[in-house]
A = this chain, B = another copy of it.
Amino acid sequence: MAKRVGIVGFRGYSGEELVRILARHSGVEVYLMDHRSDASAKPLPIGAKTPTRIAATAEAAKQAGIDCVFLATPADVSMELAAQFIAAGSKVVDLSGAFRLGTVENFKHWYKEEHTQPALLAEAVYGLPELSRDKIAGARLIANPGCYPTCASLAIMPLVRSGIADLSAGIVCDAKSGVSGAGRKPSLKTAFCEVTENFSAYSLLDHRHVPEVLMNTGLEVGQFSFTAQLIPIHRGILETIYFRAPKLGSAAELIEIYSTYYGNEPFVRLYQPPAVPDIAGIAHTNFCDIGVVFDASTKRGVVVTAEDNLIKGAAGQAVQNMNLMLGFAETEGLL
């Protein structure tokens, strides 16, 4: 029997993507959950079939028998709603930063507000399947990873765990994202005329996705320099990661190391050096692509990683987590 899943924030960019992905999922029935802050609707063709609409409340979720709710909402809304839906017996996948950072201090430092659900924060499981598949399967509340940290963590983790990178030299992650990462709410920064024919850096050394990467990789703050930048495209992230590896012999050797970590992963793809991924290759997919280049004479290396910020960086990964939680095949709806 089909599981019932609800989406709050179904008109935002991640929410729209959830609707699209779940429509292809063979095992779920989708409910759109109306919330007071929903963005404006687009006109639909005559006779368009749309999922059932219910209110974004615990009562409505209970009545409809919702097994899992996706929160594609800001952190403050997610804190409020996650508690209600979990109390009502639904599992929750939260796409905001509300439950990612482990402690209330950490949350307050990076999100500049008080955490109102410390118990849930402590309980939440960080939902990067490649790092913690088993814990996800048993969770009630998933903190779906940030878009930048998803591919940054997947690309950097093997460098650290294998011991191949010289951490004292530091790791630099120069990250670039399409504009949909900033959400659908209009702002001057994401206005067409401000973005087109432009390219700009923001949150230099101070982006709130940094602590997620540190948590996932074990790097210390002084070992990791991160810059976020805006590409004039709709969707996609590419990160260029610089490291030093005094004992590494070649790029081929390095991609071998990566394949020991990701050889069996359905959503991580590796490239034969010197090929590296680009954004066109991952747009509209749940893949995180990784390629490496290495200069053996000077021991300097570069990892290039790319993902679709709305899919592997948000809605796709959320469905991947849901699949694990509800007992579906992990790739259902995602290939």
Contact = CB atoms under 8 A, between A and B. Distances in A.
A77 interface: no
A221 B281 CA distance: 31
Contacts of A178: 197
A259 interface: yes
A205 B236 contact: no
How many protomers of this protein does the assembly include? 4
A40 interface: yes
A259 B46 CA distance: 10
Contacts of A188: 39-40, 184, 186
A225 B174 CA distance: 12
A223 B80 CA distance: 50
Nearest to A293: B204
Given A190-B192, A225-B300, A271-B46, A199 B169 contact: no
A232 B229 contact: no
B238 A200 contact: yes
A242 interface: yes
Contacts of A196: 179, 192, 196-197, 232-234
A197 B46 contact: no
B278 A204 contact: no
Interface of A: 13, 39-40, 42-43, 45-48, 169-170, 172, 174, 176, 178-180, 184, 186-188, 190-201, 204-206, 221-222, 225, 227, 229, 231-236, 238, 240, 242, 244, 255, 259, 269-272, 274-281, 283-284, 287, 289, 293-295, 297-300, 302, 304
Closest 4 CB pairs of A and B: A45-B269, A200-B278, A222-B298, A43-B275
Given A13-B193, A197-B233, A232-B232, 20 more contacts: A39-B188, A45-B277, A45-B289, A46-B255, A46-B269, A174-B240, A174-B242, A176-B199, A179-B193, A190-B192, A191-B191, A196-B233, A197-B234, A201-B302, A204-B276, A204-B302, A205-B300, A222-B300, A229-B240, A231-B231
16 contacts: A40-B188, A43-B271, A46-B269, A176-B229, A190-B192, A196-B232, A197-B234, A197-B280, A198-B279, A204-B276, A204-B304, A227-B242, A229-B238, A231-B231, A232-B233, A284-B284
